[in-house]
C-alpha cells in the first residue's frame, strides 16, 4: 500500500478532539500463543481505519496499524482486560491490554467498527433510519383515511367483517403495475411490491408480505399474490398500502418478513430504491363491480402536495375456484348489528367443502401460512395456485402418548422380572443389575414426559432445537405443505407433502453410526456371549413379548366373560347364557393357542435350572427352529421329545407337567360347555311340561332352576379360572426369564439402543399419523381410495435428501430403521364420542394401533369394513439421494453403499405393494388420468435408475414421488432439518406437477420456481426456524447441487441452522 509518511505524521499529531478514540494501552506482537516481547505501554490514537502507536502523547507515531482484513477476538472472562487483533494476511497478531474491563470493551467495539466493513454497516444503519422515518410518515399519512368518527370514538369501534366459506382465506388479490417511471430514462426497472396493512383499531402500519421481483420491464405483472388467512383480523375498513421498489442489486435484496411478532419492523434492505406508493380500502375492492381497482402510484415528496405520479397499480380480487359464469359477490345486511357482511362464493375440491371436517382438522393443524400465485398455462389462460403450510399439534401429542405407553410397558416388565421368584445367586445378581438399569431408564422417560408436559407455545420443534435432550422425541420442523390448483379447464386439485426432519437421535450423536449399524453390531456381539446369560434370537424375544402381551390382554377378558356367564345363570336367561358361553369359548381358545409355541416349554426348563440348588455345566439355551418343529410333531406324546445337549435337563424336572397344566384349561372349558348344554337341554324339556301346570307353580320352579344353574356352573368356572391362573403364572415367569436374558446380554447397550429406537420411532410416527389423518380427510369422498385403504393398505413414500458422509450417514441409518418400524403400526378409524378429535394410541413396542377419531357425519361416509374396526396396514418405503457437497465427497472419496442398499431394499417393498394392489383392486381404482401400464413403466424406469448407480441421480426421487401419487399414497420429504434442501425439493415438485398435470407454460417454469422459493411458504418456514429469511447455503455448496435444487439469487447466505 502506498502512503505519504509526512501526511501520516501530521495526522498523528492533530488535536485530541480529531480522533475517534485515544488512550493508553499495553501492546505487543503475538505468534500463536507466545508473545514475542513483553507488552509495552503505548499512547494509541484511532482515526478511521488507522491506529497510531506512540511512546507518549506528545511523541511522534512509532507505528501505524492499518485496520483492514482483520478482526477482534475479545475474551469473555469478567476479569480479562485484553483483546487480540488477528490479520488475514498472516502477519503476527496484535495483543492489546487495557487498564480496565470497560475500557477494554470500548476499544474492542471501536477497533471492530474501524475498517471499511464497519463503515458499510454504519451506512446501512443510516439507510435503515431513513426508511423507518419514511414508514412513520406513511403511518401518519394513513390516519387521514380513517373516518373521524372511528378515530374519536371512545367506545369499541364496530368494523365490517368479511364473510367467507369455512376454512378459506378471508381476502386474496393479485397485483400488476403499468407505466412505471424510472429515475433515469435508460434504467431497466427490477420491481417488487411491498404490502403493508393499516389496522383500523390500532392505526399502525404493519408490513405483511411482498411480491417476487420482476426484471427489466416498466409494466410488471406479478405472479405472487396476497392472501390473508381465515384468522387474520381484516375488515372492510382496513387500509392496505402498496409500496413499489426498484431493486438495483438483486444479490443484496432479501425478501421481507411476513407478519412480524410484537409489531416489530424488519430492517430495511440495501440495494433498492423507493419508486412510489398507493393505498386503498378493502371495502372498495370487494364491493367494486369489476372486482378490480386501478390506483395511482405516487412518489411522496415534501415539495409537492399530492406527490409525483409515477405509474398505476392494478389490484384484482381473486376467488379460488370461481364459477365459470363469474357469479357476483353478495352483500347481506345484518339489521340487528348494523353490519354488512361480504359473502364470497367459491368451490373447493370434492370432500373439502362443508363444515363437518373442520373441527377434526383444526384439532390437528395450527398456524397456517398461505401464499397465492397466478401462472400462465400453455394455452395462455391463467391458473391460480394457493400454497399453504401448517404445523401440527401431533408433533407433541404423539410423542407424549408414546412415552406414556413406554412407561407403562417398562413398569409392567420390571414387575414381571421381580415376580420371577427365587433364583440362584448368579441369576439373582443378574436380575438385580437389570432392574437397576431399567429403573434408571424408566426415570429418564418419566422426566422427559414431565418436561414435555410443561411445553407451551408453538406446536413444532425448530431446527435449532434438534440437539435438545428434552425435545429428542419430538419430530423436527414437522409441517403439512399443500398446493391447491385451480385450472381453467381442469378439475381443482390438491397436492400434499409432509415435510419433516429426518427421524434421528441427534442428542445421542452419530459417532458410532446410526441404528442400522448399531443394531447389527449389537446382535453379533450378543451371539458371542459366554456363560453370563442365555442367547435368545430376536425372533424369540419378540415372541416372548407377544405372549406376555396376549396374557395381559386375554386374562381379564376371560375372567369378565366367566362372570357374565355366572350372572346369566343366576338370572336363568338361556339366550344370555348362550352368548356369554360363546364369548368365553372364543377368548379361551385364543388364550390356549397363545401357548402352543415351543418357546414357552424351553423357557420353563431354562427357568427351572436357574432356581437355587440346580447346578449345571452349561447355561440353558433355547432350541433351534428345527428342534422346535420336531417337538411340535410329537407334542401329543411328551415321552417322545428328544433331549438335545444344548438344553439342560434335570432328573427332577417333569417335562410333561407343562402339557398337563396347559391342557387343563381346555378340559375345564369343555366341562363348562358340557354343563351349559345339559342345563339348556333340561330347560327345554321342562318347558313343555310346565305349560300344562299352574303358572304360579311354574314361577317357583324357574326361581329354583335359576339358583340350581348357578350352583352347578360356579365350581366349574372357578376351576377354569384356577387353571388359567396357574398357566398365566408359569407362562409369565418363563417369558420374563427370556426378556431377562435379552437385557442381561447387552447391558447397558441394550437399553440405550431401545431408547434410541424409541426416539427415532416417535419422530417417524408423529409424521405418519399426521399424513394419514390429512389423507383420510381429503379422500373421504373417494370410494376407490377407501376401498384400497381397507383392502390393500396405504403406501407411505419417504424422500430422503441426506448424504452418506460423516454424521448424515448416521442420520440416514437411524431414519431407515425408524421408517421400517412403521410397518408394525396399524390404524383404526372410530367415531368420536366427544369434541376431542386427537388420535388415541394403544399397544406396545413393535405393535401399536392408532385410533383416528372422526365426527359422526364424516364417519358415516366410510365403508362398512372400516366402520366395523378393520385394522388398516401401512407400507412405508424410503428412497434417498444425497444432493449436497458432502454427497460429492462421499461419491468421490467415500462410500455410497448405504444409500444403494436402502434404495434397492425399498424398491422391492414398492414392487410388493404394487403386486398386491393389482391383485386385490380393479383397474378403475387408479386416478382417472392414469393407466396400469404407466405404473409398470415407471417401476421399470425406477429399477433401471437404481441399478445405474449414477451420481446424485435425483430422477430416482422424481419417479418414486410420481408412483406414490399414482397409487394414492402419502408423500414425505426429509432432509437434516426439513428447512433448506427440503424446501428446494418441495418447490421443484410443485412446479413439476403444474407443468406435467396442469399445463404450466414452459417459459414460466423457472420463474414460477423462483417465485415459490423467494416469496412462498418455504421461506416462511426458514424464518420460523432460524429467524432469518435466507436458506443456509453458500455459493461453494450450491456449485455441488443439481441445477434445479439451487435457490434464486439473494435468498441464501449465512444463517445459523
Assign 351 to helix, strand or coil: coil
Cβ-based neighbour number of residue 1054 at 10 Å: 10
User: Looking up cell 433331549, which residue turns up?
Assistant: 643
Write the Ramachandran bin of 1052: left for phi over 0, alpha for psi from -120 to 50, otherwise beta. Answer: beta
Q: What is the C-alpha to C-alpha distance for residues 105 and 294, in angstroms, rounded to an integer?
A: 56
The CB-side HSE value for 716 (13 A sphere, CA atoms) comes to 20
User: Looking up cell 398500502, which residue turns up?
Assistant: 241
Q: What is the C-alpha to C-alpha distance for residues 509 and 469, in angstroms, rounded to an integer?
A: 11
Is the bond preceding residue 748 a cis peptide, omega within 30 degrees?
yes
Q: What is the C-alpha to C-alpha distance for residues 51 and 48, in angstroms, rounded to an integer?
A: 8
**Cβ partners under 8 Å of residue 283, min gap 6:** 160, 235, 236, 237
User: Looking up cell 425399498, which residue turns up?
Assistant: 906
What are 886's three cell numbers? 458432502
Contact at 8 Å (CB) between 180 and 244? yes
- Which one from 104, 346, 770, 975 is the annotated catalytic residue? 975
Assign 344 to helix, strand or coil: coil
Q: What is the C-alpha to C-alpha distance for residues 448 and 400, in angstroms, rounded to an integer?
A: 9
What are 842's three cell numbers? 394403544
Distance of CA 762 to the CA centre of its chain: 10
What is the full DSSP assignment across 450-518?
A: HHHHT--S-SSB-GGGTT-GGGTTSPBS-EEEEEEEE-SSS--EEEEEEE------TTT-STT--HHHH
Distance of CA 85 to the CA centre of its chain: 45
Q: Which residues pair with 29 in a beta bridge?
A: 94
- 249, 254, 268, 282 from 272: Cα distances, Å: 7, 10, 9, 28
What are 183's three cell numbers? 429515475
Q: What is the C-alpha to C-alpha distance for residues 661 and 156, in angstroms, rounded to an integer?
A: 80
Q: Catalytic: 975?
A: yes
What are 393's three cell numbers? 399439534
Contact at 8 Å (CB) between 654 and 608? no
- 162, 173, 210, 309, 557 from 295: Cα distances, Å: 22, 14, 18, 11, 74
127-130: Cβ within 8 A, 24+ apart? 127/268, 127/270, 128/267, 128/268, 130/268
Contact at 8 Å (CB) between 26 and 36? no
Full 3-state SS string of 14-72: CCHHHCCEEEEEEEEEEECCEECCCCEEEEEEEECCEEEEECCCCCCEEEEEECCCEEE
What are 70's three cell numbers? 482483520
Q: What is the C-alpha to C-alpha distance for residues 9 and 64, in angstroms, rounded to an integer?
A: 10
Query: What pairing do the DSSP bridges indicate for beta strands 825-831 and 872-880?
Result: antiparallel
What are 713's three cell numbers? 356352573
**Cβ partners under 8 Å of residue 849, min gap 6:** 825, 826, 827, 828, 841, 842, 843, 871
Q: Which residues are catalytic?
A: 975
Amino acid at each position: 500500500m502506498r502512503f505519504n509518511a509526512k501526511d501520516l505524521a501530521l495526522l498523528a499529531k492533530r488535536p485530541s478532539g480529531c480522533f475517534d478514540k485515544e488512550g493508553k494501552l499495553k501492546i505487543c506482537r503475538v505468534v500463536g500463543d507466545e508473545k514475542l516481547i513483553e507488552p509495552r505501554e503505548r499512547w494509541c490514537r484511532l482515526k478511521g481505519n488507522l491506529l497510531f502507536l506512540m511512546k507518549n502523547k506528545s511523541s511522534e507515531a512509532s507505528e501505524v496499524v492499518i485496520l483492514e482484513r482483520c478482526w477482534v477476538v475479545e475474551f469473555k472472562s469478567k476479569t480479562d482486560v485484553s483483546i487480540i487483533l488477528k490479520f488475514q494476511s498472516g502477519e503476527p497478531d496484535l495483543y492489546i491490554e487495557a487498564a480496565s474491563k470497560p475500557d477494554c470493551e470500548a476499544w474492542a467495539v471501536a477497533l471492530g467498527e474501524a475498517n471499511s466493513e464497519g463503515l458499510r454497516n454504519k451506512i446501512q444503519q443510516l439507510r435503515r433510519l431513513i426508511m423507518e422515518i419514511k414508514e412513520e410518515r406513511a403511518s401518519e399519512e394513513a390516519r387521514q383515511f380513517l373516518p373521524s368518527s372511528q378515530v374519536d370514538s371512545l367506545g369499541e369501534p364496530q368494523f365490517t367483517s368479511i364473510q367467507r366459506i369455512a376454512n378459506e382465506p378471508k381476502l386474496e388479490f393479485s397485483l400488476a403495475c403499468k407505466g412505471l417511471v424510472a429515475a433515469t430514462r435508460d434504467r431497466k426497472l427490477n420491481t417488487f411490491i411491498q404490502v403493508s396493512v393499516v389496522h383500523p383499531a390500532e392505526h399502525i402500519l404493519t408490513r405483511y408480505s411482498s411480491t417476487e421481483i420482476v426484471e427489466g420491464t416498466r409494466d410488471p405483472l406479478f405472479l405472487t399474490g396476497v392472501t390473508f388467512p381465515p384468522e387474520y383480523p381484516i375488515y372492510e375498513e382496513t387500509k392496505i398500502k402498496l409500496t413499489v421498489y426498484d431493486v438495483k442489486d438483486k444479490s443484496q435484496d432479501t425478501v421481507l418478513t411476513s407478519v412480524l411478532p410484537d409489531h416489530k419492523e424488519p430492517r430495511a434492505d440495501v440495494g433498492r430504491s423507493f419508486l412510489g406508493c398507493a393505498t386503498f380500502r378493502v371495502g372498495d375492492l370487494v364491493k367494486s363491480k369489476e372486482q378490480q381497482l386501478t390506483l395511482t402510484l405516487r412518489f411522496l415528496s415534501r415539495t409537492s402536495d399530492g406527490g409525483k405520479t409515477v405509474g398505476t397499480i392494478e389490484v384484482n380480487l381473486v376467488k379460488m375456484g370461481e364459477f365459470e359464469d363469474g357469479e357476483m359477490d353478495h352483500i347481506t345486511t345484518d339489521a340487528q348489528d348494523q353490519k354488512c357482511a361480504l359473502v364470497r362464493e367459491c368451490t373447493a375440491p370434492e370432500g373439502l367443502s362443508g363444515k363437518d371436517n373442520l373441527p377434526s382438522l383444526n384439532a390437528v393443524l395450527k398456524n397456517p401460512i398461505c401464499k397465492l400465485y397466478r401462472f400462465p398455462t400453455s394455452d395462455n389462460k391463467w391458473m391460480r395456485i394457493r400454497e399453504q403450510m401448517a404445523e401440527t399439534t401431533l408433533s407433541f401429542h404423539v410423542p407424549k402418548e408414546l412415552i406414556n405407553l413406554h412407561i407403562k410397558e417398562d413398569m409392567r416388565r420390571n414387575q414381571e422380572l421381580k415376580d420371577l421368584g427365587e433364583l440362584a445367586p448368579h441369576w439373582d445378581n443378574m436380575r438385580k443389575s437389570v432392574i437397576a438399569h431399567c429403573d434408571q431408564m424408566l426415570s429418564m422417560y418419566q422426566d422427559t414426559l414431565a418436561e414435555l408436559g410443561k411445553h407451551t407455545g408453538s406446536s413444532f420443534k425448530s431446527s435449532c432445537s434438534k440437539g435438545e435432550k428434552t425435545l429428542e422425541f419430538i419430530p423436527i420442523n414437522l409441517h403439512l405443505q399443500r398446493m391447491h390448483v385451480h385450472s381453467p379447464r381442469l378439475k381443482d386439485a390438491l397436492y400434499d407433502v409432509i415435510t419433516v426432519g429426518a427421524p434421528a437421535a441427534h442428542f445421542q450423536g452419530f459417532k458410532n453410526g446410526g441404528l442400522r449399524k448399531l443394531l447389527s453390531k449389537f446382535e453379533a456381539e450378543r451371539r458371542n456371549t459366554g456363560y453370563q446369560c442365555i442367547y435368545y434370537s430376536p425372533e424369540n424375544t419378540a415372541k416372548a413379548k407377544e405372549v406376555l402381551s396376549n396374557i395381559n390382554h386375554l386374562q381379564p377378558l376371560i375372567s369378565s366373560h366367566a362372570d357374565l356367564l355366572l350372572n346369566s345363570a343366576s338370572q336363568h336367561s338361556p339366550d344370555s347364557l348362550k352368548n356369554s358361553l360363546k364369548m368365553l369359548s372364543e377368548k379361551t381358545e385364543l388364550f390356549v393357542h397363545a401357548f402352543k409355541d415351543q418357546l414357552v416349554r424351553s423357557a420353563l426348563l431354562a427357568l427351572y435350572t436357574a432356581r437355587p440348588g440346580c447346578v449345571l455345566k452349561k447355561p440353558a439355551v433355547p432350541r433351534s427352529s428345527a428342534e422346535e418343529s420336531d417337538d411340535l410333531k410329537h407334542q401329543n406324546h411328551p415321552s417322545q421329545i428328544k433331549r438335545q445337549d444344548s438344553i439342560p435337563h434335570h432328573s427332577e424336572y417333569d417335562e410333561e407337567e407343562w402339557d398337563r397344566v396347559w391342557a387343563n384349561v381346555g378340559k375345564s372349558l369343555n366341562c363348562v360347555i358340557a354343563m351349559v348344554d345339559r342345563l339348556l337341554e333340561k330347560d327345554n324339556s321342562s318347558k313343555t311340561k310346565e305349560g300344562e301346570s299352574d303358572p304360579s307353580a311354574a314361577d317357583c320352579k324357574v326361581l329354583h332352576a335359576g339358583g340350581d344353574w348357578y350352583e352347578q356352573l360356579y365350581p366349574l368356572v372357578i376351576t377354569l379360572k384356577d387353571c388359567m391362573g396357574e398357566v398365566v403364572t408359569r407362562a409369565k415367569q418363563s417369558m420374563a426369564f427370556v426378556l431377562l436374558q435379552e437385557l442381561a446380554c447387552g447391558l447397558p447397550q441394550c437399553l440405550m439402543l431401545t431408547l434410541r429406537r424409541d426416539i427415532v420411532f416417535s419422530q417417524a410416527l408423529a409424521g405418519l399419523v399426521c399424513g394419514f389423518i390429512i389423507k383420510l380427510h381429503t379422500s373421504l369422498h373417494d370410494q376407490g381410495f377407501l376401498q384400497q385403504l381397507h383392502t390393500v393398505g396405504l403406501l407411505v413414500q419417504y424422500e430422503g435428501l441426506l448424504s452418506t458422509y460423516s454424521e448424515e450417514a448416521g442420520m440416514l441409518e437411524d431414519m431407515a430403521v425408524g421408517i421400517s418400524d412403521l410397518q408394525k403400526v396399524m390404524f383404526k378409524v372410530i367415531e368420536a364420542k366427544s369434541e376431542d378429535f386427537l388420535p388415541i394410541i394403544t399397544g406396545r413396542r413393535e405393535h401399536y394401533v392408532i385410533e383416528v377419531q372422526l365426527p359422526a357425519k364424516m364417519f358415516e361416509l366410510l365403508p362398512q369394513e372400516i366402520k366395523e374396526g378393520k385394522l388398516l396396514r401401512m407400507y412405508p418405503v424410503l428412497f434417498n439421494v444425497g444432493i449436497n457437497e458432502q454427497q460429492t465427497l462421499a461419491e468421490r472419496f467415500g462410500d455410497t453403499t448405504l444409500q444403494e442398499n436402502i434404495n434397492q431394499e425399498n424398491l422391492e417393498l414398492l414392487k410388493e405393494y404394487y403386486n398386491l394392489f393389482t391383485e386385490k383392486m380393479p383397474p378403475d381404482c387408479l386416478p382417472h388420468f392414469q393407466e396400469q401400464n404407466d405404473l409398470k413403466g415407471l417401476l421399470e424406469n425406477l429399477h433401471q435408475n437404481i441399478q445405474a448407480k449414477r451420481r446424485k441421480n435425483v430422477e430416482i426421487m422424481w419417479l418414486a414421488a410420481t408412483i406414490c401419487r399414482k397409487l394414492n399414497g402419502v408423500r414425505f420429504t426429509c432432509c437434516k432439518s426439513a428447512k433448506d434442501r427440503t424446501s428446494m425439493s418441495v418447490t421443484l415438485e410443485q412446479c413439476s406437477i403444474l407443468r406435467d398435470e396442469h399445463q404450466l407454460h414452459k417459459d414460466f417454469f423457472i420463474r414460477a420456481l423462483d417465485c415459490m422459493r423467494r416469496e412462498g411458504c418455504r421461506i416462511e418456514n426458514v424464518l420460523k426456524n432460524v429467524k432469518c429469511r435466507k436458506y443456509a447455503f453458500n455459493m461453494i455448496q450450491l456449485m455441488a447441487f443439481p441445477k434445479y435444487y439451487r435457490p434464486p439469487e439473494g435468498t441464501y447466505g449465512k444463517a445459523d441452522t
